[in-house]
Amino acid sequence: MATVLAAAAVAAGAHLGSPAFRGPDSDPATLQGFQIRVLNVTQAAAENRLDGALAALDALEQDLDAAAGGGMVSVSRYRGIEAALSAVRADITRTIEAQAAAAARAAAAAAEPPTTEAAATQPQPVQPQPETTAVIPAPEPASQGPELPDAAKEAKGKGKGAGKP
């Protein structure tokens, strides 16, 4: 977009400022003023200030018509400038329409519910698991003394007598 606008500005500037194109009935100061204003329009468009660029373009076209009506710009010069300004207007209008279409697509995409493919790629929320209570086994009753092996149980009470070491 900026390249096209720059090309249109160069074409309009060449048409406005070149002494080879200037007719005897074209005022050089008026043409230089138009050239500066064309550059301002293209700069505003390049900076994405499209509404401001269109407003400046409208004012420039009105002033061009007035200058042509007042004899400050020749008919051939007027037609060349008008063609260059029409090209700039068409570029700005196409850009505005493209931005509006992109914004409408983005708004429509944001308003649509996700499709099954989109839903499959989006992370799914974790489903809460039902809580289960842990069953803790009851402790076994403690024995009264140390557990002795069977051989030791049989030998209990046998062996050395009382007072024998």
Name, of 11-15, 23-27, 52-56, the range with top average pLDDT: 52-56
Of the pLDDT bands very low, low, confident and very high (cuts 50, 70, 90), residue 22 is: very low
pLDDT, one tens digit per residue, over 97-134 is 999 999 999 999 888 776 655 555 666 666 666 666 65
* Residue 45 near residue 91 (C-beta atoms within 8 A): yes
Q: 130-141: string of b/e by CB count within 10 Å (b at 16+)?
A: eeeeeeeeeeee
Instruction: Please tell me which residue, 51 or 144, carries the higher pLDDT value.
Output: 51
Q: Span 48-70, mean pLDDT?
A: 92
User: In Å, how far from its chain's centre is CA 108?
Assistant: 15
Among 84, 65, 82, 73, CA closest to 29: 73
Rg, the chain, Cα only: 47
Just give the CATH number of 2-114: 1.20.1440
Q: Which residues does 133 contact at the CB level (< 8 Å), separation at least 6?
A: none
* Residue 23 near residue 74 (C-beta atoms within 8 A): yes
What is the pTM assigned to this prediction? 0.54
Domain ranges for the chain: 2-114
